[in-house]
Chains A and B, each alone.
Chain A
Amino acid sequence: MHDKVDVLIIGSGASGAAVAWSLADTRMRILCLEQGDWVKPTDYPSNGRDWEARLFSDFAINPNRRARPTDYPINDANSPIKVVNFNGVGGSTIMYTAHFPRLHPSDFKVRTLDGVADDWPVDYTTLEPFFAENDRMMGVSGLAGDPAYPPKQPPMPPLPLGKSGTRFGKAMNQLGWHWWPSDTTIATTDYEGRARCINLGHCTPGCAQGAKASTDITYWPHAIRAGVELRTMCRVREITVDEHGMASGVIYYDAEGNEQFQPAEVVILACNGVGTPRLMLNSVSAKFPNGIANSSGLVGKNLMFHPYALSYGYVDEPLDGNHGPPLCLWSQEFYETDQERDFVRGYTFQFGRGVGAIMEAIISSNAGRLPWGEDHHKVYRKLLNHRIGLAAICEDLPEEHNRVTLDPVLKDSSGIPAPKLDYTIGTNSAKMMAHGIARAKEVLVAAGASNICVESPILNGGWHLLGTARMGTDPDRSVVNEWGRCHDVKNLFIVDGSIWVTSGGVNPTSTIQALALYIADSIKQRLANLFD
């Protein structure tokens, strides 16, 4: 048995890294267990000629396809959207597009404003200093003055518009619709040891030059220097409880597959909206026969993705292709509720720069655009680098039937039951997606595109895993309280996307990390009476 630690964090991704760094200044003994390993920059695909091909093998975004020893399988057969994640130091920040919008003030008040779902027990104003702190730590590029947000000041200038962004800007101005350079965590100047982006363009499966902020190169070096221990290749099976119903530690399998027990005073879960409920449901005891901290029955329920409705077309001049970070603009024109529409809440448009040679060939082949035989070459030359596209990232409302449970058969390589998803796209989301597709077609036409195509929902589009252990003040209707502590287990905290009450319509990493910093700060403020 290992020595007892003060704080045990499970997962080293977006939220686990942030909470570890923030708590480090308490001088408590802090340990993080990560089921994956460090990823060396030299291992990233953009170092080699097979850089695009590896999106279909060891750097596939879908863990079932990637199937590394450090991945766990997910039964997603009953979901039209498949989970996207990465397991390693940095978690899914290794494999994200670095698009970094915040939730909006209205996102925390959806019941009050729109009569749906529930209000959050925290608000934008409370999180604002943590957003700013996180922007500094991750290193955000962007442009102040966006009328879609309260004032904020990104520490670095925005990514270049390029040919694609300029074309989109003109189209949006023609339509009179909002657009703005995205906040991203891609360094546009030298920043805290990271070199400015040189436009490798293949950002999603890891940045070989380190311009993209994944937490292995942002929070973790600081946290480790401050004394936090990060133990890799450790897959946690269950959280144990003592005779008082408090978390006593975890059982995990080490790199050699040996079972280990790690005792702890405080346990913090940071395993994402699928991994966290999976671990909680696997943590069964006499005190918690339905999974730890699950007296509400809500652990695993209310799974929210952001359904993505992608529209794209082709223009008559070559654009940027994949020669630059893939996302550089957003539009919040349709973000807030409009009573004239047949749905509540809204969506963000995120604009794509283009795709690489292989992706163009595969997507166009699957869509039946790219012929076999003599004409293949002629048609392909009209497609490559001529693509222009945008996706509506739609707010998904919480619905209890959308859920994560344990698969009765499927297990990971350690024999731990795997998660099973049951998910359908709700009526409100479906109407929102249809609206987004119609507006996107107008944008594409205004941008001079033809041959317009739609992929809705994006099949491998389950990047954002939210809502499966929601926050709230009522223990019957939520799993954690307003500062991330489980109602049922007063030394068990959750800091990842599981605790989201609603999803908003933006990429969640910025808000996940701001919440993690806020929860860490709440813990520090209450150290003397943390378990009261």
Chain B
Amino acid sequence: MPNDSLTAEQTRDLRALAGSIIPPSATYGVPGADDEKIFNDILNSLERDRDDICRALAQLATLAGGAFADLEPARRTEVAAMFRETGAAPLAALVRVVLLCYYRDDRVMRSLGQEPRPPFPKGHVVEQGDWSLLESVRKRPRLYRAVE
């Protein structure tokens, strides 16, 4: 996978963590965040968060006592839970990048009943709603204070 800023070990750990945060689901028919296409998007979207993510991955490696990706599944879950409690701002940045790439994937959006498209140019339809609800408000005396 193309990436000049993370080491191979960091990249493996990030992918493993992304899959721990959002695993694939057969129930909903969606990939996990470690899916190749989504993970490539993550790697290409680090930009302003790159330093924080590197800090988070260093912290993760410390908690794991080595490569997080090499842990057995049960231990990985334990370490991920600890990391969520202690990761603070660097972890928040990492999770944000995972989420903002995951929740724009076509397969994921379709599974949520969302059209995989930008808002422009099609826009959306918003119903007018029930304007008769305002009748009781119209009858209220004025609320603003007189100043003269």
A contact set with B: CB distance below 8 Å: 44, 46-53, 56-57, 65, 67, 104-106, 108-109, 112-113, 123-124, 143, 145, 147-150, 159-163, 165-166, 169-170, 172-173, 178-181, 197-202, 208-209, 320, 323-324, 332-333, 335-336, 357-358, 361-362, 365-366, 372-374, 376-378, 381, 384
Residue contact B143 to A49, C-beta cutoff 8 Å: no
B145 shortest CB reach to chain A, Å: 4
Report whether A47 and B133 are in contact in the complex, using a CB–CB cutoff of 8 Å.
Answer: no
Which residues of chain B have C-beta atoms less than 8 A from A47's C-beta?
A: 118, 120
CA distance A162 to B28 in the complex (A): 29
Question: In the complex, A57→B97 CA distance in Å?
Answer: 11
Secondary structure call for the B interface: loop
Which residues of chain A are within 8 angstroms of B144 by Cβ–Cβ distance? 104-106, 147-150, 332, 335-336
Q: Of B81, B118, B126, which contacts A199 at CB under 8 A? A: B126
Q: Which residue of chain A has its CB nearest to the CB of B141?
A: A147
Q: Is B142's CB under 8 angstroms from A147's CB?
A: yes
Which of chain A's residues have a CB closer than 8 A to the CB of B2?
none
Considering the complex, give the chain B residue whose CB is closest to the CB of A360. Answer: B103
CB-based contact B145/A173 at 8 Å? no
Contacts of B28 in A (CB 8 A): 377, 381
Q: What is the CA–CA distance of A333 and B140 in the complex, to the nearest angstrom?
A: 11
* Interface segment, one of B5-13, B15-23, B54-62: B15-23
Q: Can you list 26 A-B pairs with a CB-CB distance of less than 8 A? A: A46-B119, A49-B104, A49-B117, A52-B100, A53-B104, A57-B48, A148-B144, A161-B127, A161-B128, A161-B133, A165-B129, A173-B133, A178-B137, A200-B119, A201-B124, A323-B126, A324-B126, A332-B144, A335-B143, A357-B103, A358-B99, A358-B103, A361-B100, A365-B96, A372-B20, A376-B21
Residues in B whose Cβ lies below 8 Å from that of A362:
95-96, 99-100
Residues of A contacting B122 with CB < 8 Å? 198
> Closest Cβ of chain B: how far from A247's Cβ, in Å?
35
- Bound together, the chains give a CA A48 to CA B104 distance in angstroms of 11
Give A320 to B96 CA distance when docked, in angstroms: 23
The reply on B112 being an interface residue by CB < 8 A is: yes
Q: Please determine whether B143 and A178 come into contact, CB atoms closer than 8 angstroms.
A: yes
Residues on A with beta carbons closer than 8 Å to the beta carbon of B140: 147, 178
Assess the B137–A179 pair: CB atoms within 8 A: yes
Query: How far, in angstroms, from A106 to B146 measured CA to CA in the complex?
Result: 7
The complex places the Cα of A387 from the Cα of B78 at a distance, in Å, of 31
Say which residue of B25, B99, B118 sits within 8 Å of A361 (CB atoms).
Answer: B99
Question: Are B112 and A357 touching (Cβ within 8 A)?
Answer: yes
- A44: B residues at CB distance < 8 A: 120
Distance in angstroms from A310 CB to nearest chain B CB is 18
CB-contact partner of B134 in A162, A180, A336, under 8 A: A180
Q: How far is the CA of A320 from the CA of B116 in the complex (A)?
A: 17
For residue A242, give the distance in angstroms from its CB to the closest CB of chain B: 42
The answer to whether A361 and B133 have CB atoms under 8 Å apart is no
Q: For B143, give the chain A residue with the smallest CB separation.
A: A148
Q: What CA separation (Å) do A162 and B131 show in the bound complex?
A: 10
Residue from A181, A200, A361 in contact with B103 in the complex, judged by beta carbons closer than 8 Å: A361
* A199 engages B25 (CB within 8 Å): no
**Is B3 an interface residue when CB atoms closer than 8 A count as contact?**
no
Query: Which chain B residues lie closer than 8 Å to A323 at the CB level?
Result: 124-126
Nearest opposing residue in chain B for A119, CB measure: B147
B37 an interface residue at 8 Å Cβ cutoff?
A: no
Instruction: Among B95, B120, B127, find the residue whose CB has the most chain A CB atoms closer than 10 A.
Output: B120
User: How far, in whole Å, are A44 and B119 apart by their CA atoms in the complex?
Assistant: 11
Residues of chain A lying within 8 A (CB to CB) of residue B43 = none
Contact indicator B112/A336 (Cβ below 8 Å):
no
Closest 10 interchain pairs by CB? A161-B129, A198-B123, A323-B124, A200-B119, A324-B126, A169-B133, A166-B129, A208-B120, A46-B119, A199-B124
Q: Does B109 contact A (CB under 8 A)?
A: yes
Q: When the two chains form the complex, which single residue of A46, A148, A373, A377 contacts B120, counting CB atoms closer than 8 Å?
A: A46
